A and B are shown apart, each in its own frame.
Chain A
Amino acid sequence: QKEVEQNSGPLSVPEGAIASLNCTYSDRGSQSFFWYRQYSGKSPELIMFIYSNGDKEDGRFTAQLNKASQYVSLLIRDSQPSDSATYLCAVKPGNTGKLIFGQGTTLQVKP
């Protein structure tokens, strides 16, 4: 079992829709959870992180964490073509900066 699992996609949504990206992790001791966006040929950019159960909102983005189910998700409201990218879920198991990444989900937002 991979430590962090994501559906590689592609996930295709129409412009203006809600995109839902999901991630599961295996280490119950994981403390912090991250979503990065990576455009093709570019470096990963941090969207947001979450460490408490529940929802965390930042603009059009909402991260959701359920530690009991070992599940973290990212919702993107009012999806735009510029949101088309690969979204990487990452888990931080300890108190260092070691991030364990999933393989990423490719999102395509169609005009």
Chain B
Amino acid sequence: DTAVSQTPKYLVTQMGNDKSIKCEQNLGHDTMYWYKQDSKKFLKIMFSYNNKELIINETVPNRFSPKSPDKAHLNLHINSLELGDSAVYFCASSHGRAGLEQYFGPGTRLTVT
């Protein structure tokens, strides 16, 4: 019944590794987002896709690459992980690109050692 799900819930890895986080929503929404919440709880948008089209691409390092195989899935791949990438990454979805009601997934806590 989970509306927006993310895997894995926790991810611990070493600097320099490459990792992926997956997100799926079963709400029938056509727009999905990736947010990063840092250790100070500051939540910042990274990317958004509408029907597999990238519509929001904030200033994030090129090491971060989102991919949306279909409108129900949005993945985030991170290359050459750095200590500063440690954070909680939230996926969200909404109906329509205006994004008035965004539903967040449970988050993935990434720890880079």
Contact = CB atoms under 8 A, between A and B. Distances in A.
Interface of A: 32, 38, 42-46, 49, 86, 88, 92, 95-101, 103-104
A44 to B, nearest CB: 5
B107 interface: yes
Contacts, number: 57
A44 B43 CA distance: 10
Given A97-B97, A101-B42, 5 more contacts: A44-B90, A97-B94, A97-B100, A98-B99, A99-B99
B12 interface: no
Interface of B: 31, 33, 40-45, 48, 55-56, 58, 90, 94, 97-107
Contacts of A38: 41
Contacts of A44: 43, 90, 104
Contacts of A100: 45
Contact of A43 (B56, B90, B97): B90
B101 A46 contact: yes
